[in-house]
Each structure stands twice: as structure tokens, then as C-alpha cells.
Amino acid sequence: MKKVIFPKPLKKGAKIAVISPAGAVDTTQLEKGIKLIKSKGFEPVLGEHLYSKFSNGYNYAGTEKERIKDINWALNDKEIGAIWASRGGYGCQHLIQHLNLKNFIQNPKWYIGYSDNTVIQSYLLKKGFASIHGQTIKTSSFGVTDESYELIFDLLKGKTPKYSLKSHKLNKKGDIEGELIGGNLALIYALLGTKYSFDFKDKILFIEDIGENFYALDRMIMSLELAGVFNKIKGLIVGGMTNMGDEKDNKDYEASFDGFAYKLIAERISKYKFPVVFGFPNGHIKDNRPLVIGGTARVKIGDKVKIDF
């Protein structure tokens, strides 16, 4: 199996490109995140179309051409040390057919984001490069913990995360080690059957989502089953399931792990023997701790859950 490449740790003063590959943002939404980059000793470099807006059934951060231009600049500019997405939303699928990794291959860099950015991360992993599934620059309405950002900066400096969690009642115990894949469930689902889909064979799959009706959640899980995903993976980690179904009042941390959504998932995968972690703090939630897509995860699921890379 081809070894996944990790980008080199960033040195003080390194340049971090901030781009908007999907939904539109305004300056006020990014002020805090950009200041944070500076406070950590790095130099944020803003994409040309970071604050552009283009409405076409959705408010995109510029036209497809503009967003493609920005991401290819960030991927290939030799002075850029990492790429941090401003937000998710929708639009990354427009870009993947046009991505250029000519200089990136010689100078790999971390790509940081989640939600719609799962598409970009699947693409990078297909090419053999790890990425960070973590908080975007835009702080969402539910907020972001300081630790969520601190752990990303640790990763940028070369320190991989270690997690110790309470056990969830729906967990399936076991010890597993394997390459971590996944991200936002809707995007994993959207890529099924395409050449950009994750390779699920002997992998540990992570999923999270927000704002889906329960029948839509069930449909996506059913599609994974019909595609044979659950016969291929070594284990499953389930993160935030926020504002699912008709439950629109989930505002605190615990509510981010929607109980009924978890019940639906647990029922669908009950016949499979692989170990499962429910309640991992990553996703559209306040406590959004980063995971390394393409990293080798060691997972121990017992009375406590321990995950390290």
C-alpha cells in the first residue's frame, strides 16, 4: 500500500493561505481566525477571491473559475506553507476536476477544513497526501473552543493528537489500527461511485453531519451499505450529528450528538462486527477537535476510548 505523505511542520513566520472554496463569507466572519493565525506567529495570505460573492442558487465565494484559481494558487505557490479554508457550505465538488498538484507534489502542505471540504480531502488522499479535518477560519453560530484551534496549530507544528474520551452506550468495543478516512457524511455519500470517492478497504471511517432529516440520514447510511462500505471498513467513528430531523434546538455540546440520529446509525450497522465509537468531538459542533485524514489511527474502545495517530 502506498504510504501517505504528511506535510513538513511549519516554521515560525510561515505563510498560510486563507481561501474560500465553497460558500461566501464576509470580513467580520473571519476577523477572529485571521488574528489567531497572526498571534501564533504565522502570516495569513488572503486568496484573491476570499470575499467574492456569486449567487447561482446558492451564495458561492465567487464563480467556479474564481474559486478554482484561488485553490490552485494556494496548492502550488511555493511560498505557501499551509491552506486553511474559510468555511464549507457547498461548492467544492465544482473544483476537483480542475485541481492542479504540479508544485504541491514537490512541496506538500496541510489543507485544513471540514464540512464541504471533505471533497478536497478525499481528492488529496487519492493522490497520497494527508489533510486536517478540523475547524475552518469562520467561527460558526455554535462557536469554537480554544482547544479546537490549538490542536490544529499543534498539528501544523508536527505534533499529532491523542484523545481520551468517555465511552458511549452505543459503542462496540475493540482495538483497531488503520488509515483514517471520511468527514462529512453527505459528501462521502455524494462521491460514492465516482473516481474521487474514498477507498474504504481496511480503513477506519469517520462520519459527521448537520441539518439532515432523519430519512435523509438513513438514506445515506443505506447507500453506504448498498455500496458495500460496511463490509470493507475496519471500524467506524461517529462525530457530531447536529440539528438533525426536527430537533432544531440543539445548542449545547451534548445536544450536538443527536440521540435519535445515533440510534438510526446503530441499528443500520448492528449486524456488522467492526468496532464503533460514538460521540467523537469533531464536526459541526463547538468542540471540534481535529482528525488527520490519511493518518494511521490507533483506536482502543473499552470503558474509555483512546485514539492517537
Please identify every residue annotated as catalytic. 115, 208, 284
The residues with which 111 forms a beta bridge, in sequence order, are 83
The residues with which 133 forms a beta bridge, in sequence order, are 113, 291
Helix (H) or strand (E) holding 162: strand 162-166
Q: Position 298: which residue type?
A: R
Cβ contact 164:298 at 8 Å: no
Helix (H) or strand (E) holding 67: helix 64-76
What DSSP string describes 255-272?
GGB-HHHHHHHHHHTTT-
Cβ contact 60:91 at 8 Å: yes
Q: Residue 159: is it exposed, middle or buried by C-beta count within 10 angstroms (0-12/13-18/19+)?
A: exposed
The residues with which 278 forms a beta bridge, in sequence order, are 238
Residue 90 three-state SS: coil
Cβ contact 181:206 at 8 Å: yes
